[in-house]
Amino acid sequence: MQLTKHSNGLLSIYFTAGYPTLDSTVAIAKALEEAGADFLEIGFPYSDPVADGPTIQHASEEALKNGMTLKVLFEQLKDLRKHVSIPVYLMGYVNPVLQFGVENFCKACAAVGVNGTIIPDLPIYEYEELYKTVFEENGISNIFLVTPQTSEARIRKIDDLTTNFIYLLSSNATTGKNLEVKDQAEAYFKRIKKMELKNPFIIGFGISNQDTFQKATTYANGAIVGTAFVKLLGEENYSEKIPAFIKSIKGKTNHRVQ
């Protein structure tokens, strides 16, 4: 279950653990795999999600009210691999991880079959100096983020540290903004592609429909849908709508991570 440079047209779905109900996490993950998602990002909620737009902020608030914590999440995920075979990444902010304990967190991820983590506010130097060994000893990939303002030297550094894929932010905006592939963004995507990085990269932020998904996957190995799916989870009978939602993004293609 590894993304590679040859992966293409991959769709990742982000959703917040504990939303819309405390115990919905694994059922949603299972439904997404069955519907054709290629890999998943399960968000662990935090009270101050600075990079998230209002939809995901609301989901985090509701999940916290429902009682979601990292301890609860790992308890829920203990049977994850009985139901879900595609790659799964945990995404959230560093504060809950530090409170849980980085080594405990990595061991818990490994125990339940999580492939890696995406922690946007974990500085690279802290990861490299303090935590890299712990992550590697437990077989957990830490996914780094690149923005339009990231220097080439930093991108090369990220590529060297990466053991899975690089998360390419479409912009510096919060989540939920529509992807607009204008000249500036197109030049950014082309610049990254021309660097011929060792690792595959996935575009996130602003992917909400088939048009934006296809634009993103023209330049990257895949794309991530978050806000649009979290909105769906706020609707009645959301589980029945998941297959149609995935089809509306991917069309007829159905890739799988090998």
Active-site amino acid positions: 41, 52
Main-chain phi, psi angles of 116, to 5 degrees? -170, 180
Backbone φ and ψ of 33, nearest 5°: -65, -45
Q: Measuring CA to CA, which residue among 231, 228, 233, 230 is closest to residue 249?
A: 228
DSSP β-ladder status, 166-169 and 222-225: unpaired
SS3 assignment for the chain = CCCCCCCCCEEEEEEECCCCCCCCHHHHHHHHHHHCCCEEEEECCCCCCCCCCHHHHHHHHHHHHHCCCHHHHHHHHHHHHHHCCCCEEEECCHHHHHHHCHHHHHHHHHHHCCCEEECCCCCHHHHHHHHHHHHHHCCCEEECEECCCCCHHHHHHHHHHCCCCEEEECCCCCCCCCCCCCHHHHHHHHHHHHCCCCCCEEEECCCCCHHHHHHHHHHCCEEEECHHHHHHHCCCCHHHHHHHHHHHHHCCCCCCCC
